[in-house]
Amino acid sequence: MRVENTKNPLEYNPSELLICTAARLMNDFTTAIIGTGIPMLAAALAQRMHAPNLVAIFEFGGIGPVLDQLPLAVGGERTFHQAVSALGLCETVETAQRGLVEYGFLGGAQIDQYGNLNSTIIGDYQHPKVRLPGSGGGNDFGSHCWRTIAIMRHDKRRFMDKIDFITTPGYLSGPGARETAGLAPGTGPYRVVSNLGVMGFHPQSKQMILLATQPGVTIEQVLENTGFELLIAEEVEANAAPSTEELRILRDEVDRDRLYI
């Protein structure tokens, strides 16, 4: 869904920009595995804006909860509030393995040109500079969801030619590599949403490609903050700023207690 590119009279912060951008990518009558934070707020916003039949799924087993009060953790009681079903982690992963989940939202500390994500370590695995939280459900959902959407801050320390560890597989080493590894054809990275732009993946080479820039950002700025060769679409769109209505719903309905924004 595209939002009309009109001048926005309201100020917005970087998180609100990412939330609104991600929300526009979600379609009605689909399923999406989300965590807390930006993906959850994006799903709640999409439900109120254009996708009322979007089914949000939390990895600990809440299927289709009503997000009228935001949970603080993926296993919190509010992730099951008036849900269609209350399952567990294994059942949620199995749902993705059976091909029943369209979107999987992911994050990480590093990403490469094929959409592989690192959320495990910075530096050498045996002697890391930083030990990160790890996979959680990231590997499972990145392996089995039809379309994964990564949400990240954009700079060369994160968008790297070679990441320190592959926690979640993207297109691995390129065309055919996912299938060779045993993952289902047609699954894999779909979009990367950053504070600078929205990226997709070339259908043949599977390399990341710039599709749109965020408000006030140039193509050159995106390239300067990317540590690998980023492909450029023939026509790069300019994303609309968050609209007055998007911000009103986000602030007054979705996160009225300002837990996340």
Q: Which residues are catalytic?
A: 59
DSSP β-bridge partners for residue 132: none
Beta strand extents in the chain (DSSP E only) = 31-34, 55-58, 62-63, 85-86, 103-106, 110-111, 117-118, 121-123, 128-131, 147-152, 189-194, 197-201, 208-213, 231-238
* Cα separations in angstroms, 196 against 116, 150, 219, 222: 19, 13, 9, 6
Question: Within a 13 Å sphere around the CA of 124, how many CA atoms are in the beta-carbon half?
Answer: 2
Burial of 157 (0-12, 13-18, 19+ CB in 10 A): exposed
